[in-house]
Amino acid sequence: MMMRLKGSIFALGALFLITACELNNDNIRVFAYSFEFSTSDQGWDGDFADYPIGDSVFYELKFKHDTLPRTNGNRKALLSSGKNHSDDLFMFIRRKLTGLKPNTEYRVLFNVRISSNVPTGNVGVGGAPGESVFVKAGAVTTKPEKVQVGGYYRMNVDIGSQSQAGADVLVIGNIGVAPTTTQFTEIYRNNSSANSFLVTTDSQGEVWILVGTDSGFEGTTTVYYTAIDILFNQAN
């Protein structure tokens, strides 16, 4: 769902107070998109990178629109799961957004809601299962996808490495919930106005959104994306 808003951005929290609207106005400076996955995948799909070609079964890679734990089957989310044997597994979801102004630079804010069952403060092989699985988000004009590089699948966009951001993504947190976590719990990961992401749309006013986890934990990571909100504020 897209919301087009006139004016300037003050805080990401304002996004959740706005009623959806459609305005055909060249003066619109702010565009907001909101996706909630309880009943459908909303056009998002998922994939994986930074693992050896032919090893998808060994890595136990899984993406699907699936039942969210602790909801008695009444709510679904985007399940992304894999076992990180390479110490660098990237699990991602993506979607094309349309309706922005063509060839226009925007500052982008992301608010990603994830259900995770990983406690903080734990020690794992290669890194912590919570604090060493980094949540990343970005916007690009090229479809983000895995490509073959040597014997591995790598991303065709710059996602950085684990805790390091890339040219095409920000690090917006990790999947750790709390020291006493034992069940899947919804957490929010976002960037602030002071750490907004810059992107210039293509000639059609389109961009691709990329959200994922970049893991330094050599074990199984399973997350459920429950909702994603993206706010575009024209940069100049």
Domain of 56, CATH number, reads: 2.60.120.200
Task: Give the per-residue pLDDT at 20.
Answer: 33
Taking only the tens place, the pLDDT of each residue in 208-234 is 999 999 988 878 999 999 999 999 999
Residue 194: pLDDT band by 50, 70, 90 thresholds?
A: confident
Burial class (CB in 10 A: 0-12, 13-18, 19+), 170: buried
Amino acid identity of residue 126, one-letter, is G
Sheet of strand 51-52: strand arrangement: 51-52, 152-155, 146-149
The mean pLDDT of 42-59, rounded to a whole number, is 95
Residue 186 tokens, joined? 């919804």
129: which DSSP letter?
T
Bridge partners for 227 per DSSP: 36, 113
b (16+ CB within 10 A) / e for 124-163: bebbbbbbbbbbbbbbbbeebebeeeeebbbbebebbebe
> Diameter of the chain by CA atoms?
53
Task: Give the per-residue pLDDT at 12.
Answer: 43
Q: How many residues does the chain have?
A: 236
* Residue 91: how many other CB atoms lie within 10 Å: 27
**Locate tokens 């990571």: which residue?**
221
167: which DSSP letter?
T
**Cβ 149 vs Cβ 157: under 8 Å:** no
Whether 28 shows a pLDDT value over 70: the answer reads yes
Taking only the tens place, the pLDDT of each residue in 153-169 is 999 999 999 889 999 99
Task: Give the per-residue pLDDT at 131.
Answer: 86
Q: What is the 3-state secondary structure (H, E, C) of 59-84?
A: CCCEEEEEECCCCCCCCEEEEEEEEC
Instruction: Domain count for the chain, please give it.
Output: 1
Mean pLDDT estimate for the chain: 88
Ramachandran region of residue 56, left (φ > 0), alpha (ψ -120 to 50) or beta?
alpha
Domain interval for residue 76? 2-22+30-234
Mean pLDDT is highest, among 6-10, 24-28, 98-102, for 98-102
How much of the chain exceeds pLDDT 70, in percent? 87
Taking only the tens place, the pLDDT of each residue in 105-154 is 999 999 999 999 999 987 766 567 768 899 999 999 999 999 999 999 99
**Cβ 228 vs Cβ 111: under 8 Å:** yes
- Coil, strand or helix at 195: helix
Task: Give the per-residue pLDDT at 130.
Answer: 67
